[in-house]
Amino acid sequence: MPLEIVRNDITKMRVDAIVNAANERLLMGGGVCGAIFAAAGAEALSKACAKIGFCKTGDAVLTRGFALPAKYVIHAVGPIWRGGDDGETELLAACYDNALALAQRKGIRSIAFPLISSGIYGFPKDIALSVATARIGSFLRANEMQVYLVVFDRASFQLSEQRYRSIQSYLDDRTAFAAEALYTRRFEDMPPSAARPKSAAMPAPAKMPVPCGSIQPTTSHHMPAPSKRTLEQMLQRAGEGFTQRLLRLIDERGMADPEVYQRANLDRRLFSKIRSNRDYRPAKNTALALAVALRLNLDETADLLRRAGYALSPSSRADLIVEYFLGEENYDIFEINEALFAFDESLLGS
């Protein structure tokens, strides 16, 4: 997929270039910077940086990778966090923009970023993550490149507290709702002669509480009313396979292919394979990514998944997280993948 969040040591990434969270004087430092210098060969990389001499905050320069698996190192100078009122966010965004622009000019096809400024420079990890995915996502909607966002461990990666709690609350409510529904069905299916145990007596189900920013699973107030279809149209479309339905949806929304596969975080070649094969059966995360790209509501998403032989499962945490975002009408594939990664689930895309 064009943007993938991975847990790894960035010095071991086999890509065309890795990004160093550098300082303005391009000296060997601590943290990610120190690890990159050590892996590349501190003396060789220091000499290459000394020839450049200086790089201002928000900008990026390039050197060879020396002993690294990567051919190049792009040194991007991130800002020090000073509370948020000193232009730090804009400077951090410029870091990603300039590093990606430099990589593109150099013909780099794959690149790995650390979460710039989130270490000793003190940038709050949730803000650093939001800036990183926003700027990389913006670049990938207009360009093709394989980009990795590399985090060393869970402590290095953090959603905003509000977002995390809202998703967790939604997961808790949906799990409780599903469990209660299953419990109720078990006794409804019992023969009339079977007595319900007194200990199992339950009051009528109360309306499930809805956490701030989430939806009830059985309502569709966020969804547009489906358009009226003739019986002939419904019968004709009932037999559509996944590819046929996908292409019709793309045409109905007036979208171009690049817009679709970029918004779905899909590789262009995979999308071309889907388009050219009417019997193609995608992986579930690919089908969901395309539903997000097409801005489908929950009913439309469920219908598209059925064409590929899948369903949204109330017992799947990954499915519930995607459901949460669709209900919020948030179709940013990179934000969805941030949440999936934070909850240790597979990302959407190819």
DSSP letter string, 128-154: HHHHHHHHHHHHHTTS--EEEEEESSG
Is the pLDDT at 177 greater than 90? The verdict is: no
Question: Who contacts 107 (Cβ-Cβ below 8 Å, separation ≥6)?
Answer: none
Separation of first and last alpha carbons in the chain: 5
Element (H, E) at 235: helix 231-238
CB 260 within 8 A of CB 320: no
Res. 160 pLDDT band, cuts 50 70 90: confident
Q: How far is CA 330 from the centre of its chain?
A: 12
Q: What does the alpha-carbon distance between residue 80 and residue 119 come to, in Å, rounded to a whole number?
A: 10
Identify the structural domains of the chain with CATH numbers, from first to last.
3-156 (3.40.220.10), 162-190+210-342 (no CATH)
Between 21 and 189, the higher pLDDT residue:
21
CB 343 within 8 A of CB 316: no
Q: Mind listing the pLDDT tens digit for each residue in 93-106?
A: 999 999 999 999 99
Mean pLDDT of 167-174: 88
Average pLDDT, the chain: 86
**Helix, strand, coil fractions of the chain, as percent rounded to 5:** 50, 10, 45
* pLDDT, position 209: 43
Cα-based angle 140, 142, 134 (whole degrees, multiple of 5): 45
Is the pLDDT at 182 greater than 60? The verdict is: no
Is the pLDDT at 3 greater than 90? The verdict is: yes
Between 250 and 211, the higher pLDDT residue:
250
Is the pLDDT at 23 greater than 70? The verdict is: yes
Nearest alpha-carbon partner for 118 in 80, 73, 83? 80
Q: What does the alpha-carbon distance between residue 131 and residue 94 come to, in Å, rounded to a whole number?
A: 10
The three-state (H, E, C) secondary structure of 77-88, written as one string: ECCCCCCCCCCH
Res. 176 pLDDT band, cuts 50 70 90: confident
Map residue 21 onto helix, strand or coil. Answer: strand
Q: Evaluate if pTM is beyond 0.85.
A: no
* pLDDT, position 174: 83
Mean pLDDT of 109-119: 95
Mean pLDDT of 146-151: 94
Residue with tokens 């309502």: 219
Q: Mind listing the pLDDT tens digit for each residue in 299-335?
A: 999 999 999 999 999 999 999 999 999 999 999 999 9
Between 17 and 172, the higher pLDDT residue:
17
Res. 232 pLDDT band, cuts 50 70 90: low
Q: Mind listing the pLDDT tens digit for each residue in 203-219?
A: 444 444 444 444 444 44
* pLDDT, position 173: 86
Between 157 and 63, the higher pLDDT residue:
63
